[in-house]
Structure 1
């Protein structure tokens, strides 16, 4: 509780004690003394509300909750209802204090969850470590990160190895290792070992700065419910003020015309009760707080949402379109099968790796890694790379040809059509076929689980887009259980396909595109919601996407949708609950059934319950 909140709490306690004492004292026979004494707790607890109401009238911003409370309480006191007048102001302040504390607690929770801003960077100066402001560190500088410290700026490890805690960024509790040559990002905590890092970005362009900026600015993009509540409050407050005025004047005038006792006091009291009930605090406070808490809770789970409008859109998603490489697969080629003919598998791998010894192609690298032994390049000569076919080389006096089916056909070697999920590398030695090696882009561990989770979450269609061959794409899609697959696509073709899918849905349904965030910027921008997957440190992802998933797990898509649906459920619960109670109590107040005490519940009680419900959005469970 901050200093301001403690001061308000002190005023509330003093006013409460004074009011209880005054209620117990026999002051009915001393009306002037009673009035003066009751003004002490009234002004003690309510002077700031009266001041705000006066300033609002002075600045021509009349219709707000301060004005409603001032009119209602002053009116009640004018009618001689001193206890109720003080009680309304007292309970209103209690509600405001509770709301202030709840918002502060939410902000502190989010601040702790996103406490990734580094305070300093260690720079070596004349052999001595000096702590400097991260903003002052230039690109290419060498910084030292000791155990327990945050990595202040993105860079590459040039010395040391350590274990890094990435929980604040990804929501994952499992630490990752960092060694020489690895790229590391700001915001991670060094758990062990000393790292020397050469910076690759300025602090303002580093991952931690971009994430903090994204979360801080998320509130600027409002959802439809938030915009509705803002417009509703601007129209609603004047309407209820004029309605209360009509309630105070019209019935007594009609009774007077009819020759009946007008009962002015009774109808004015009803009008004042009507004003207290009508205060829209519960809606105005709880709806933005729900979205704020939802965005904060998502941030803790490694899901960065750029605005509450995207939380709203995520909850209404029905079509999920995904890139294959880097999203559903690891994006790293690995040897998954070796099929040797007339020689051993080890010999086949050795001859293939030696033929590919001088190539830096990703497929060549994966073949050399699968062999796993040093290659004596002196045994390799006459290397010839044949574009679009493969490679030919002389290995220890033997002609080794490694490549695709076209290469085999060109030398008169017939091969069977092999239908397996991956790239088939055929091998011929001295013109004779000796087998093939299958290289696959492996599926991520949770890809299949993610597709099942999406269907449980209400997604009606899952689509995969890829530039790979149709044969490979169909096998991957069948393995994952996808509804539709489009293969052999160029980046421009992906945009066209997304536009086709957009044309098939209704206006209320939303289409999500999930990509690795590096080469999918056009499609991320074109979809209703662009989601960048595994985008730690990717500038393109953070700029182009509406939602950034900070880990590399496809099941985070399910998590993002689950968080959005929970948040929107709480939003609508608060809207229906607050409006429903208000309408019921307004009717009861207008007909004289509800008194000031019921009015206090309708205002403060509903607000407290709505705020308590709103902060549930901070809690994020695992969505599978």
Structure 2
């Protein structure tokens, strides 16, 4: 019998929050899990999620993250700029209040216009406090031109007056004194808030930010009497920032819309009336009504009605699903035409849609190595450029004959304008988050940017057989009795043996038996891991399982070869015959193997507890490179270890299983992918990637999405750094002006953000 039915009895330990066998388990590849990432439900004593409402500067966000991570008692800190969320992993829960106060001070010092809102924390026991506490009561009501991608009335009036003053002084001729005053007035109207913020930040020791750079550059331009250019640079900086933040906000909204599966309400049935309530108010056992066109708000079972459901929001599949009384349904599905009455089986916090939303939102806390590199790079890049610009301003006039200070100062100012790393700091995380969002829309849930990036380097894909490459829809196809026993009697003994098992093979035997089983007659039920079952029924000892069970029990048996799974049956140590159970290969399994090979996967392998004949037959039909059969649970882990040793050091190994019975190998693989995760809590918890349907072809789709996302991210890196490098060189040579420098800052950032959003539009 397939060993998947027998894994419950294995002694276990925990690795990475997952239950795995006591076999040797090696830590995953360092590029995937070694970095100090946050998993809000698996680490530390307490996790705090802090909403930073109004956060609009990616550079400031990185500073908040860095300083928060250095607070005593904080194990790790990760900021999600897209969702404006800071996640803290707190080691010392007794310092919770002090840590929150420290965060408040950090945010107030770096971004005084941001509201700090504390979300509910997760505890080790899985409980959660959903209270929202506003801790920054002394929030300033100041708004600047590029917050939230919109202008308030006062900012708009100031900017408009500044543009008018600038236009007048540019078109008309005035005396030098009047001209200076008009330029100064227009400059202060357009960039006064930037200047004020830079001064405040300098007082706090925050020097190398975009406000400081723009002010030094434009004030420097004033000092060498480049008045029109100083005002124009500030004007186009403000306009560029507005459009950049507008693009980021639109991107945030697009990603939110992409995962807009959260139901707004539930129609709860109260006697003869129907009451509209929040999904959080509905309890298990309540009855809800779902009308045509509405989302199903909670997981449950249909008790009345018949309809067609749109499941695409969860599965990425357009094919409708018919349901009627008795069918289970999941939150997030859309009711298309009929009126349904549903009995709720899970509270909203435990529902499928809540788990998916939580998974996708927290995916950004597990940053890809590229994201971490860009964060470190940006930290040093700006100071280096500022130092170079200072050298460019002061050294040439000293060492080059005929060089003027004003000329080289202007070139240095070009350096300053172009040095802001916002294009990278904003667009790179946005690209990964867009890729994760796009994958989610296609029914592939990736638990972090680190796993999405790791999918680019897959060399080996290892599959489980039952339920992954095959349908796990078993049918009894042969009953072969021996020793003067009828088929019905042989099937009856097997059915009693399997009566307590929920494995598909057991289900198929019980279905074929077709009669009710009095479980009170079953005594001494014992699962023998990787072999089968032993029970006593009506005073007789019954064994049902694979050849290993017969061998270990010293029972002579008939050794047969079949393309199905063989269940041998013995009573009182006497062999009575065998039952053949067949499984069907999924329609797209062969296509999956071909697709993986076409995108560069070097080897495809199958591990199964089934017999060698069945394993070899399936592998031959699908075109797999290798197959290992008759494996016990711990042997699967050991075999995976062997396979891992043969791949290259930088290559990644994927294991694809059902997420329930394959926890040991899912944990050991570089990337564990759970198949058919829809509605399965265990699958969503166990793996690094969850495929919400039963289609193995989505493994190839996930790799394609990862490759496309990486391509877009590196396009942005090369484009941003390339343009900046060209402008820096041209600026040093005196060819580029501040106009080009402004494009190198806000223009490049805007283009990079728009390009990053293409990651959401991934093909299946």
Same fold (TM over 0.5): yes
Shift of 1:612: 2.3
Deviation at 1:157, TM superposition (A): 2.5
Asked if structure 2 preserves the Cα contact closer than 8 Å seen for 1:303 and 1:560, the reply is yes
Change (3 A) 1:20 1:339: farther
Contact 2:216 2:413 in 1 (8 A): yes
Q: Matched residue pairs, number?
A: 591
Measure, in 1, the Cα distance between the counterparts of 2:617 and 2:160.
70
Pair 1:550–1:13, CA change in 2 (3 A): farther
Alpha-carbon contact 1:421-1:475 (below 8 Å) kept: no
Counterparts of 1:253 and 1:151, CA distance in 2: 74
1:540 & 1:587 partners in 2: Cα distance? 55
The secondary structure found in structure 2 opposite 1:459 is coil
* Change over 3 Å in CA distance of 1:9–1:110 after alignment to 2: farther
Identify which range, 521-530 or 168-177, moves more after superposition. 521-530
- The Cα of 1:422 is off from its aligned counterpart by 4.4
Residue 52 to residue 495, structure 1, CA distance change in 2 (3 Å):
farther
How far 1:126 sits from its partner (Å)?
Answer: 2.6
1:231 to 360, 376, 387: 376
3-state SS in 1 of match to 2:474: strand
Of 447, 456, 477, the residue aligned with 1:306 is: 447
**How many Å separate the matches in 2 of 1:13 and 1:477?**
71
Aligned position for 2:563: 420
In the alignment, does 2:684 pair up with 1:542? yes
Distance 1:252 1:110, change over 3 A: same
The aligned counterpart of 2:328 is 183
How high is the TM-score relative to the length of structure 2? Answer: 0.70
Q: Which residue does 2:223 correspond to in 1?
A: 78
8 Å CA contact 2:149, 2:245 repeated in 1: no
Alpha carbon RMSD of aligned pairs, Å? 3.9
SS at match of 1:163: strand
Contact between 1:163 and 1:190, CA under 8 Å: does it hold in 2? yes
Residue 330 of structure 1 and its aligned partner are, at CA, apart by 1.3
Q: Pairwise mapping of residues 366-405 of structure 1 onto structure 2 (< 5 A)? A: 366=508
The answer to whether the 8 A contact 1:106-1:618 is kept is no
Deviation at 1:403, TM superposition (A): 11
Contact 1:352/1:367 (<8 A) preserved: no
Deviation track 1:122-152 (CA, whole Å, cap 9, x = no partner) reads 2222321112222222223332322222222
Residues 149 and 244 of structure 2 are in contact (CA less than 8 Å); yes or no, is this contact kept in structure 1?
A: no
Asked whether the equivalents of residues 405 and 415 of structure 1 are also in contact (C-alpha less than 8 Å), the reply is: no
- Answer yes or no: is the 8 Å Cα contact 2:653–2:671 preserved in 1: yes
- Whether 1:315 and 2:462 are equivalent positions in the alignment is no
Mapping 1:124-135, distance limit 5 Å: 124-135=269-280
Distance 1:10 1:588 in 2: 36
| Mean Cα deviation higher: 471-480 or 116-125 | 116-125
The counterpart of 2:583, out of the listed 437, 441, 466, is 441
Q: SS where residue 346 of structure 2 aligns?
A: coil
Q: Distance in 2 between matches of 1:476 and 1:122?
A: 48
Find the counterpart in structure 2 of residue 157 from structure 1: 302
Aligned residue number for residue 741 of structure 2: 599
| Pairing partner for 1:474 from 605, 611, 616 | 616
CA distance in 1, matches of 2:335, 2:690: 24
Match of residue 436 from structure 2: 295
1:143 maps onto 2:278 in alignment: no
* Structure 2, unaligned runs of 5 or more: 1-145, 527-531, 536-543, 551-555, 570-575
Residue-by-residue CA offset, 1:52-93 (whole Å, 9 max, x unaligned): 322321221110122111111111122111221122222222
Change (3 A) 1:423 1:106: farther
Question: Does structure 1 residue 568 correspond to structure 2 residue 710?
Answer: yes
Distance 1:37 1:618, change over 3 A: same
Pick from 511, 522, 526 the counterpart of residue 653 of structure 2.
511
Q: Secondary structure at the match of 1:177?
A: strand
* Correspondence for 2:669: 527
**In the aligned structure 2, how far is the partner of 1:498 from the partner of 1:468?**
17
Distance, in Å, in 2 between the alignment partners of 1:228 and 1:404 is: 52
- Using the TM superposition, give the Cα deviation of residue 332 of structure 1 relative to its aligned residue in structure 2, in angstroms: 1.6
Distance change (3 Å), C-alpha of 1:11 and 1:443: farther
| 1:404 positional shift | 9.3
Taking structure 1 as reference, are residues 81 and 492 closer, same or farther at Cα in structure 2, changes over 3 Å only?
same
1:9 and 1:352 mapped to 2: Cα distance?
A: 85
The runs of 5 or more residues in structure 1 that have no matched partner are 341-347, 392-401, 427-432
Distance 1:586 1:303 in 2: 42
Partner of 2:314: 169
| Bigger Cα Rg | 1
Task: State the 1:531 CA deviation.
Answer: 1.3
Residue 502 of structure 1, CA deviation = 2.3
The CA distance in 1 between the partners of 2:410 and 2:452, in whole Å, is: 43
Give the corresponding residue for 1:328. Answer: 469
Is 1:456–2:456 an aligned residue pair?
A: no
- Distance in 2 (CA, whole Å) between partners of 1:414 and 1:517 is 34
Q: Distance in 2 between matches of 1:100 and 1:236?
A: 22
Moved more, 83-92 or 469-478: 83-92
What residue is the counterpart of 1:488 in the other structure?
Answer: 630
Match of 1:344 in 2: none
SS in 2 for 1:445: coil
- Cα drift, residue 544 of structure 1: 2.1
Distance in 2 (CA, whole Å) between partners of 1:375 and 1:268 is 93
Q: C-alpha displacement at 1:587, in angstroms? A: 1.5
Give 2:339's aligned residue: 194
- Select between 508-517 and 138-147 the one with higher mean Cα deviation: 138-147
Within 2, Cα distance between the matches of 1:473 and 1:416?
A: 16
What is the CA deviation profile of residues 202-250 of structure 1, one whole-angstrom value per residue up to 9, with x for unaligned ones?
2111111111111111111111111111111111111111111111111
The Cα offsets for residues 567-588 of structure 1, whole Å up to 9 and x where unpaired, read as: 1111111112221222222122
